[in-house]
Amino acid sequence: MDEKNRLGLLFTGTGAVAGILSAFLTNPVPLPLVLIIAFGIYYGTSYITPYINVDMEAYGGRRKILQTGVFSFLQGWLVLWFLVFEVAGLYS
């Protein structure tokens, strides 16, 4: 598996974790704080890329890694946020 696929899976996975966390925090916490938490998880994901054998300098730096994973993260985050929020009945 090449680096781009590993980064996509990493960002999708952390997006899913952020989505589940966002679903349970939506009602008790103001929405801007939920967005800040999700952005923090997104940015923090770039710090764990060495653990999946992605050389940050060879890939182009932290900015390039974050650009590569933005849509994977958003997909995992929004899909899991909506699904968990609806299935768990957290809207009431």
Is residue 41 domain-resident?
yes
* Burial of 58 from C-beta contacts in 10 A (0-12 / 13-18 / 19+): exposed
Is residue 31 domain-resident?
yes
Q: How far is CA 41 from the centre of its chain?
A: 6
Examine the pLDDT at 22 and tell me if it is beyond 80: yes
Domain that holds residue 32: 3-87
Is residue 92 domain-resident?
no
Examine the pLDDT at 54 and tell me if it is beyond 70: yes
CA 49/CA 36 separation, integer angstroms:
21
Q: How confident is the model at residue 89 (pLDDT cuts 50, 70, 90)?
A: confident
| Domains held by the chain: number | 1
Is residue 83 domain-resident?
yes
